[in-house]
Amino acid sequence: MRNLLYIAILIIGLTSCGGGGDDTPPTPVNTAPTVPTLALPANTSLCIDNVVNFTWNASTDAEGGVITYEIQVAKNTLFSPVSHTQTSTTTSKSITLEKGIAYYWRVKATDSKNASSNYSSTFNLYTEGVGITNHLPFSPVLVSPALNKVVKPADYSPITELNVILEWTASDVDASDTLTYDVYFGTDKENLPIVSLLNQSTKTYTTQLAASTKYYWKVTVKDGKGGQTIGQVWSFTTD
């Protein structure tokens, strides 16, 4: 009886160690393609022809899959709404745009298993209008605080005060234009008061905040020739 017990234990031990098993190798993990980099039109371009040929540099895929690109074109930096969405298996796409409009574009890559990269950086361009002698500035681009960020006292100096530096960038295809800015800031999204000096030249504005409050702000960009562009409303919340 004791010998039979030893044999049973030995058989169980061999089985638990996988002896004679048919192991299936693990399925390789698929990775997304690399993020495309934009090429042409170069950032802040004036496009004389409103049929624009967009080009970008190819992404790579570690698994060697077929890559499809999606290009988005919009009239604002948030891409809401998107004016044009096109796909391509090559690194270029021609799109007909309206004349006399500032546009923003970006591209992402997707492999044959539907793994997608992040979107590329955003480039902007302006399509030439009929009889245009001055072009509107591009919409301001948010730098900080990040959209919908929760601002904490320790994020800023001095930490004894809850304050924030609002920062943005802006550009214009008319390189000789001197841009100025008006800053609107407050807690009522639909009725933001102007808080800066009119036509300030700096691209920052510092303000103190209250705790546990949601703030909204926007910037109007002026080119000194009567052209101005009102930026989108951004927001953040204090801790």
Per residue in 33-74, pLDDT (tens digit) is 999 999 999 999 999 889 999 999 999 999 888 999 999 999
Q: Which of 71, 105, 127 is the last residue of a domain?
A: 127
pLDDT tens track for 136-194 = 899 999 999 999 999 886 665 554 567 899 999 999 998 889 999 999 999 999 999 99
Tally of structural domains, the chain: 2
Question: Do residues 101 and 158 share a domain?
Answer: no
Of 195, 211, 208, nearest in space to 150 by CA: 211
Sheet holding 141-144, edge to edge: 141-144, 163-169, 204-208
pLDDT tens for 191-210 read 999 999 889 999 999 998 98
**146 and 89 share one domain:** no
For position 129, what pLDDT does the model report?
82
Strands 51-57, 92-96: pairing kind: antiparallel
Per-residue pLDDT of 83-97, as tens digits, reads: 999 999 999 999 999
Q: Is residue 20 part of a domain?
A: no
CATH number, domain containing residue 75 = 2.60.40.10
Q: Give the confidence band of 118 by pLDDT, cuts at 50, 70, 90.
A: very high
For residue 30, being part of any structural domain is answered with no
Residue with tokens 């000096």: 197
Domain identity same for 156 and 232: yes
Q: Do both 174 and 214 map to the same domain?
A: yes
Domain hosting 84: range is: 37-127
Is 180 a domain residue? yes
Q: Quick one: 234 and 145 in the same domain?
A: yes
Mean pLDDT of all residues in the chain?
Answer: 87
Query: 109 in a domain, yes or no?
Result: yes
Please give the Cα distance from 56 to 36 (Å, whole number): 7
Residue 89 within any structural domain of the chain: yes
| Cα atoms in the Cβ-side hemisphere of radius 13 Å centred on 62 | 10
Digit-coded pLDDT (tens) for 93-115: 999 999 999 999 999 999 999 99
For residue 7, how far is the Cα from the chain centroid? 67
169 within some domain: yes
Same domain, 66 and 109: yes
Query: Does residue 18 sit within a domain?
Result: no
The pLDDT value recorded for residue 152 is 80
Q: Look at residues 100, 55, 108, 59 and name the one whose alpha carbon lies nearest to residue 82.
A: 108
Same domain for 117 and 149: no
Inside any domain, residue 62: yes
